[in-house]
Amino acid sequence: MTSKRVLPAEWAPQSAIMLTWPHPGTDWSGILDDVEPVFLEIATAVLARENLIVSCEHVARLQELERELSAYARERQLPGRVIAVPAPANDTWARDHGPITVTTDSGPLLLNFRFNAWGGKFPWEKDDALNQHLCNAGSFGTTPMANVDFVLEGGSIESDGAGTLLTTSECLLTPSRNATLDRGAIENLLGETLGAERILWLNHGYLAGDDTDSHIDTLARFCSEDQLCYVACPDVADEHYSALAAMEEELQQFRQADGRPYRLTPLPWPDAIHDDDGHRLPATYANFLIINGAVLVPTYDVPQDQQALDILQGLFPDRDIVPINCRPLIRQHGSLHCVTMQIPAGVVTL
């Protein structure tokens, strides 16, 4: 008899958060002084509530981090512990190269999908091998890991924890990822590997400056089994208006497994932020991270930050809302959720 698989919702209990630390060999090299404080803020917020798995190619920096963060946790008697692993990495987007964990009748199972940097846009070989390095180092305890010959990034899927996945056709159906598979074959594979019983496909929605081909975690998120939040653009003159209005209509048409419509909450639209060359950067409040007892929310030093925090507090009334200034992160076209990957309860036991 086949063991039933479930992809837990992000709000399910967690044992750890994974971070892949920036180092001089990454595209962060010129702005490490700006971006490392963001990673440190994420790391300390995590340690206040759960364990932290951190890897870095730069071994000396990793040893420093392990000392600093472990001392921080000890001095404050925090529940989290630091698991530090030296490992090569091309970049820092743990959401997309990290393992995706399902629960089964016999316990948690780590799935090591292939990673090819969003369809071969950037170097990816080190990132694709990272999960095996972590597993070999014992970072995941005795939890087994299975390789899956399919390109899939964690940022491209959202789970309600009850068999429904939310995704975008722009990403999952892009030929540069899995050229030989059509939509039906991909749905079957997600059913087999992740236990998906229903897949909700968004065909509209994008963010300028996004390298991922419209990852769902920049656009729309499950907040509970019956609640979705999503980015909404009220400015008819904005280049995003038509696509996001069409996405909103799609969300309104979606139904839960029992046939009821979802409760929908629009998120604020932040003022446009551009890089030094005038290119728009993908600032989005949908890129929050749910951890044990809290939600870490990206902010961008714009007037809409407080409104976003207030809305998310309403959506997660029993969790602390922790703002993290992610303006440095979006300079490399990602945000808070993109640099993290949650590891469910039962995997890391210290």
d(CA 249, CA 226): 17
| pLDDT computed for residue 2 by the predictor | 55
Task: Give the DSSP H or E segment for 177.
Answer: helix 175-178
d(CA 326, CA 332): 11
* Sign of torsion over alpha carbons 200, 233, 120, 336: negative
Residue 307, judged by CB atoms within 10 A of its CB (0-12, 13-18, 19+), counts as middle
- Taking only the tens place, the pLDDT of each residue in 173-219 is 999 999 999 999 999 999 999 999 999 999 999 999 999 999 999 99
Residue 25, judged by CB atoms within 10 A of its CB (0-12, 13-18, 19+), counts as middle
The active-site residue, picked from 56, 229, 326, 338, is: 338
Q: Hey, what are 286's tokens?
A: 């949908």
Q: Hey, what are 24's tokens?
A: 């001089």
Concerning whether 338 is annotated as a catalytic residue, the answer is yes
Q: Hey, what are 313's tokens?
A: 């507090």
Over its C-alpha atoms, the chain yields an Rg (Å, rounded) of 19
* Sign of torsion over alpha carbons 201, 206, 210, 213: positive
Q: Is the pTM of this model over 0.85?
A: yes
Which residues of the chain have a pLDDT value below 70?
Answer: 1-2
SS3 category, 263: strand
Instruction: Give the C-alpha distances (Å, rounded to integers) separating 180 from 116, 188, 189, 196, 262.
Output: 15, 14, 13, 21, 33
Q: Which fold has domain 14-344?
A: L-arginine/glycine Amidinotransferase; Chain A (3.75.10)
| pLDDT computed for residue 80 by the predictor | 97
In the chain, domain spans: 14-344
Ramachandran angles phi, psi of 287, nearest 5° = -90, 40
| pLDDT computed for residue 1 by the predictor | 41
Residues 186, 95, 297, 160: what is their CA dihedral angle, to the nearest 10 degrees? 30
| pLDDT computed for residue 349 by the predictor | 81
Q: Hey, what are 156's tokens?
A: 């491209």
